Copies of this chain bind each other. A is one copy, B any other.
Amino acid sequence: MLSKKSQYAFKALTYLAERFNQGPVLISEIAKQKKIPLKFLENILLELKKADILESKKGKGGGYFLKKDPAKVKMATIVRLINGPIAMLPCVSLYFYERCKNCDEKQCGLHDIMIEVRDATLEILENRTLKDLLV
């Protein structure tokens, strides 16, 4: 399940995608319109900025805005950043891999099924972008 934080992130990103290339948008505006706790949203946007997805401008007339075209920002990137692993097990995760304890990957049926699930999920999340969130 996506965390609430992830859902907030997607709402904010959608809001910004709708206003792409229209100058900075206030955190407070996003928070109000999308009903996201202000300080919580601050953290999320900062994280997205550090990941090079958003840009910001300080001072009067400042705010946040998308750094790249919405069509260039993959869903998978955002999910990994804000929500964590996409795979259902650490031992089949590409970006958050961890070895299984008490289980040999070579002969673990669960492992194989979870790889299938991972790949099916990635096929979608790697090929959908913020643009697809817009109506």
Contact A109 B135 (CB under 8 A): yes
Pick out which of these stretches binds chain B: A23-31, A40-48, A50-58, A119-127.
Answer: A119-127
Q: Does A90 contact B (CB under 8 A)?
A: yes
Copies in the complex: 2
Contact B128 A124 (CB under 8 A): no
Interface residues of A: mostly helix, strand, loop or mixed? helix
Bound CA span A135–B106, Å: 10
Contact B109 A14 (CB under 8 A): yes
Residues of A within 8 A of B (CB): 1-2, 7, 10-11, 14, 34-35, 75, 84-85, 87-90, 102-103, 107, 109-110, 112-114, 116-117, 120-121, 123-125, 128, 132-135
**What are 19 inter-chain pairs, A to B, with CB distance below 8 A?**
A1-B88, A1-B90, A2-B88, A2-B89, A10-B110, A11-B103, A14-B109, A14-B110, A34-B102, A75-B113, A107-B135, A109-B133, A113-B124, A113-B133, A116-B124, A117-B121, A117-B125, A120-B124, A121-B121
